[in-house]
C-alpha cells in the first residue's frame, strides 16, 4: 500500500508483541495513555534529557528517590576565622558541596552547628546549600572549598 502526500494512517490497536531475551526496543513517541483503576506503568529507563535554562522537571514519588550526585563547574577557596567565638559561611544556592577542614594550627576544636566538632586537621564534606555556623576559639580557622554549579 502506498500513501499519497497528505494521507495518514491511524492505528488504534496493536497486536500482542513478544520480544526475544535481550532484544532492544526503541520507542520514539507514545500516544496519550489512559490507565484504569489499579493499572500501573513501570518505566525502567529514560533517554538522556537536556533542560534549557529556566526549564524544570517535577517528580512526584511516594518512595525515596535515588539521584546521581551533581558535579560542580567551579570552585572557590576561603579561610573563615572565628571571631568573638563565632563564624558563618553564608548560604549558597549554587553550591553542590563544601569541603571543610579545621586548620591544623587551631588551639581547640571548632564546632559546626550545635554540636558537630572538628578537631585540628579534621576534614568534613557536606552536600548542602545551607548557611553553616561555627563556634570556637577566637583566631582558630576553617579552610573551605565550595564547589558550585
Architecture of the 74-148 domain: Sandwich (2.60)
| For residues 11-31, average pLDDT | 79
Question: Given the C-alpha cell 538522556, which residue does it identify?
Answer: 48
Q: Model confidence at 75, in pLDDT bands (50, 70, 90)?
A: very high
- Compute φ and ψ for 91, nearest 5 degrees: -60, 150
Segment 49-72, tens digit of pLDDT? 888 888 888 877 777 766 666 678
Nearest in space to 86 (alpha carbons), one of 136, 131, 132, 130: 136
Domain boundaries, the chain: 74-148
Contacts of 77 (CB under 8 A, 6+ apart): 143, 144, 145, 146
Q: Which residue has the higher pLDDT, 19 or 138?
A: 138
**pTM summary value:** 0.55
- How many other C-beta atoms can be found within 10 angstroms of the C-beta atom of residue 134? 23
| For residues 86-90, average pLDDT | 97
Amino acid at each position: 500500500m502506498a500513501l499519497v502526500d497528505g494521507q495518514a494512517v491511524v492505528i488504534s490497536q496493536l497486536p500482542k508483541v513478544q520480544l526475544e531475551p535481550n532484544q532492544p526496543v526503541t520507542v520514539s513517541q507514545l500516544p496519550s495513555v489512559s490507565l484504569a483503576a489499579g493499572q500501573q506503568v513501570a518505566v525502567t529507563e529514560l533517554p538522556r534529557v537536556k533542560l534549557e535554562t529556566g526549564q524544570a522537571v517535577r517528580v512526584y514519588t511516594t518512595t525515596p528517590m535515588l539521584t546521581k550526585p551533581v558535579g560542580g563547574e567551579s570552585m572557590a577557596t576561603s579561610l573563615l576565622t572565628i571571631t568573638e567565638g563565632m563564624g558563618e559561611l553564608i548560604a549558597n544556592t549554587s553550591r553542590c558541596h563544601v569541603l571543610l577542614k579545621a586548620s591544623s594550627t587551631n588551639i581547640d576544636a571548632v564546632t559546626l552547628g550545635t554540636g558537630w566538632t572538628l578537631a585540628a586537621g579534621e576534614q568534613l564534606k557536606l552536600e548542602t546549600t545551607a548557611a553553616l555556623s561555627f563556634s570556637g576559639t577566637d583566631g582558630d580557622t576553617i579552610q573551605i572549598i565550595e564547589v558550585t554549579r
